[in-house]
Amino acid sequence: MRNALLKSSQDLRSEQQAIDELNARNSSARQSLENLVALIGQIDMSVSQNTDSLTQFKCSLDEINKYIFEINQLSRQTNLIAINSAIEAAHVGSKGAGFSVIAKEIKFLSEQVNSSANSISALTRAIESSAGNVCEGVADQRPVIEQINTDLNHVVELIKIVISRSSRMQSIISFISTLQFLNTVKLDHVIWKLQVYTLLLDKREDYHVNAHTECRLGKWYYTGEGSHFRQHVAWQQLEQPHATVHTSGRRALETFFNHAIPEMTAELEKMEEASHQVVQLLDQLASEIQY
């Protein structure tokens, strides 16, 4: 029974380690997803900013087109002035020859301005069209980005739930494993006392019994996981009677082989009383442990 309990406790510890590894992977996955959510948020913000910038850009293009329209109007007016000047120059004959040259130059410059303005207008329309397409593309991406963001947040929440449930399961497994270990060391005490009685009945002078720091409970208490329970009163009271079990059992053997039977009987009684206290304290510790 002792060995079966011990194996079950060890198996549970192995399962607990597997859950520890699972939680570590889940935590890493959650962190990666949270980083991705933050990145999507930045992209979404960038898209919003880009949309605003493109809208402002289109407004600026509208302003430029308005100015180009005014330039075209002014160019047409300048061209009319040049034509009228040429007509007036023709009326005055040779005396208006110089004025006629200036009028032709004005007309030429007016046509160039008009041509340049038309070219600029064509370019701004093309830019405006491209900007509009970009705006539409960005706007089309917004719902997709928002959906991705929603889905990622949902995944993060689900992973948090998995981690929480895994942690709860881990606590329960740890609790059961500890209870099984405590039951194991209670059986260890029964077996250890039986060993003492067997040595007495068989009169084995070459006996060897281990110290309270060398048994399974002692190793757990001093160097193992038992130190995790040092805040419990039962744990604090356990050391003295546990040590008494081992020292009294050894003295019982020593006094027996020294033919001091009354002393042997007294030591055995101390051993039994201390063993009873150990079992009670182990039960108390088991009742105090929370999961």
Confidence bin at 189 (pLDDT 50/70/90): confident
d(CA 46, CA 43): 5
The whole-number pLDDT of residue 207 equals 86
221: containing domain: 203-288
User: Is residue 249 in a domain?
Assistant: yes
State whether 156 and 115 are in the same domain.
yes
Q: Looking at per-residue confidence, does 288 or 34 come out higher?
A: 288
- Band (pLDDT 50/70/90 cuts) for residue 49 is low
Q: What is the pLDDT averaged over residues 91-95?
A: 54
Let me know if residue 186 belongs to a domain. no
CB 288 within 8 A of CB 236: no
Residue 268 within a domain: yes
Among candidates 112, 129, 118, which has minimal Cα distance to 62? 129
At 225 the pLDDT is 87
Q: Do 100 and 231 have their domain in common?
A: no
Report if residue 18 sits inside a domain: yes
DSSP 224: S
Q: 13 with 67, same domain?
A: yes
For residue 179, the model assigns a pLDDT of 83
Residue 200's alpha-carbon distances to 101, 193, 209, 262, 264, in angstroms, are 141, 11, 12, 14, 10
Do 27 and 141 share a domain, yes or no? yes
If asked whether residues 159 and 216 sit together in one domain, one would say no
Top pLDDT among 138 and 221 is at: 221
Out of 173, 195, 216, a domain closes at 173
- 127 within a domain of the structure (yes/no): yes
Boundary of a domain, candidates 158, 173, 188: 173
Residue 207 gets the label, from left (phi > 0), alpha (psi -120 to 50) or beta, of beta
Same domain, 109 and 55: yes
The answer to the question of residue 193 being in a domain is no
Q: Taking Cα atoms as reference points, which of 180, 189, 212, 208 lies closest to residue 16?
A: 180
Counting the structural domains of the chain, the total is: 2
Strands (E), the chain: none
Q: Which of 131, 149, 136, 133 is nearest to 43 (CA)?
A: 149
Same domain (yes/no): 83, 156: yes
Provide the token pair at 241. Answer: 């009677």
* Domain CATH number, residue 109: 1.10.287.950
Q: What is the mean pLDDT of the chain?
A: 75
Are residues 116 and 258 part of one domain?
A: no
Mean pLDDT of 247-272: 96
For 186, half-sphere exposure in the C-beta direction (CA atoms, 13 angstrom radius) is 19
Shared-domain flag, residues 48 and 167: yes
Distance CA(239)–CA(221), nearest Å, equals 8
Least reliable range by pLDDT among 89-93, 219-223, 255-259: 89-93
- Give residue 205's pLDDT band: very low, low, confident or very high (50, 70, 90): confident
Same domain, yes or no, for 30 and 113? yes
Which residue matches tokens 């063993």? 275
Mean pLDDT of 105-133: 64
My answer on whether 151 and 215 are in the same domain is: no
The position carrying tokens 């405006």 is 128
Count other C-beta atoms under 10 Å from residue 73's C-beta. 11
Domain end among 121, 152, 173: 173
Task: Tell me which DSSP letter residue 232 carries.
Answer: S
CA-closest candidate to residue 85, choices 64, 102, 62, 63: 102
- Per the domain annotation, does 194 fall within a domain? no
pLDDT at residue 274 in the model? 96
Angle at 18 between CA 12 and CA 23, to 5 degrees: 125
Q: Answer whether residue 116 shows pLDDT above 90.
A: no
- Residue 175 is predicted with a pLDDT of 79
Query: pTM surpassing 0.85?
Result: no
Residue 184 lies in a domain: no
Q: Do 167 and 242 share a domain, yes or no?
A: no
- Cβ atoms < 10 Å from Cβ of 243: 16
The pair of structure tokens assigned to 103 is 């009028």
| pLDDT top residue among 276 and 16 | 276
Each residue's pLDDT tens digit, 118-127: 666 666 666 6
